[in-house]
Amino acid sequence: MKELRSPQQEAAEDIFFGQLVIIWARWFVILTGAILALWAASSISELTVASILIVALMAVNFFVHGRYMMERPINRTLTGLVSLIDLTIITLIVLAWRGQTGLDSPFFIFYYPVLAAFAFVFTPGFTLVYTVLALISYAGATFVSDPAALLQFQDLELLITRLITLAAMGGLGTYYWRIQRNRRRLAKNPQAERSRAPAGD
């Protein structure tokens, strides 16, 4: 039985079904951001700025989640754009939130679920770009916050460790994405040889 779907149609289906993972990753980031903002804000202006940011993110995610629940999920371009906004916001938090910036910022961990979710949904090519962008953003944010820190042996070790684990999220996510696509193709066409199943996007 010949496969009727093109790789482009399959990728569109991946976005259609898989964007729930990205939505939930974003809800977790919003939840954590809200807890931290309400708990840790030390002034009215700090709380105001944090609240506006969180409400804006909630509004975006509510719109995206609502569309998904109505079975009219947003398209690939919009999903990619919103994911880029996620990266930007997390990088801004690493750069500026609560005086703990760059390598000292504990909020770089927001990158982990966001990267994993993106890798589950998008094709390997897009995931590679997104992961590299996240790594550059984080490394750039640490460099901008304290250029001298990266010349220190221990700080550089810390940065490399974090970059390796961040890259691992993108890599493992995309690896599992490939496995699942091959399994799906096999489910549609059991005669296909497992080892011959194409892996590229």
Partner 1 sequence: MTNKFRLTPQDPEDLMYGQSVIVSARWILVVSGLFLALWNPGPMSELRMQILFILLLAIANFYLQAQLLMKKPASSGVVYFASAADLAVISVMVILGGGFESNVYVFYFPALLALSVAFSPASTLLFAGGAAGFYTFISFGSALFGDIDIQVLIARLIMMTAVAVCGQIYWRIERDRRSAAVKARKSLVAQLREVQAATD
Question: What is the C-alpha separation between 133 and 135, in angstroms, rounded?
Answer: 5
**120 with 177: CB under 8 angstroms?**
yes
Q: For residues 60 and 172, which CB has a smaller minimum distance to partner 1 in the complex? A: 172
**Binding of partner 1 by 112 (CB under 8 A):** yes
Q: For residues 13 and 88, which CB has a smaller minimum distance to partner 1 in the complex? A: 13
**94 with 143: CB under 8 angstroms?**
no
Question: What is the C-alpha separation between 145 and 135, in angstroms, rounded?
Answer: 15
Q: Read off φ and ψ for residue 14, nearest 5 degrees.
A: -60, -45
Q: For residues 140 and 171, which CB has a smaller minimum distance to partner 1 in the complex? A: 171
Binding residue (CB under 8 A) for partner 1 from 29, 89, 94, 141:
29
Question: What is the C-alpha separation between 120 and 116, in angstroms, rounded?
Answer: 6
**Binding of partner 1 by 160 (CB under 8 A):** yes
Q: Quick count: other Cβ atoms within 10 Å of Cβ 39?
A: 7
Judged by CB under 8 A, the number of residues near partner 1 is 51
Minimal distance in Å, beta carbon 104 to partner 1? 11
Please list, residue by residue across 62-88, b when 16 or more beta carbons sit within 10 angstroms of its beta carbon and e when fewer do: eebbebbeeeebbebeebbebbeebbe
Q: For residues 44 and 153, which CB has a smaller minimum distance to partner 1 in the complex? A: 153
**Closest by Cα among 125, 167, 175 to 7:** 125
Binding residue (CB under 8 A) for partner 1 from 15, 18, 86, 138:
18
Residues at the interface with partner 1 (CB under 8 A): 1, 13, 17-18, 20-21, 24-25, 28-29, 31-32, 35-36, 39-40, 68-69, 71, 106-107, 109-110, 112-113, 116-117, 120, 153-154, 157-158, 160-162, 164-165, 168-169, 171-173, 175-176, 179-180, 183-184, 187-189
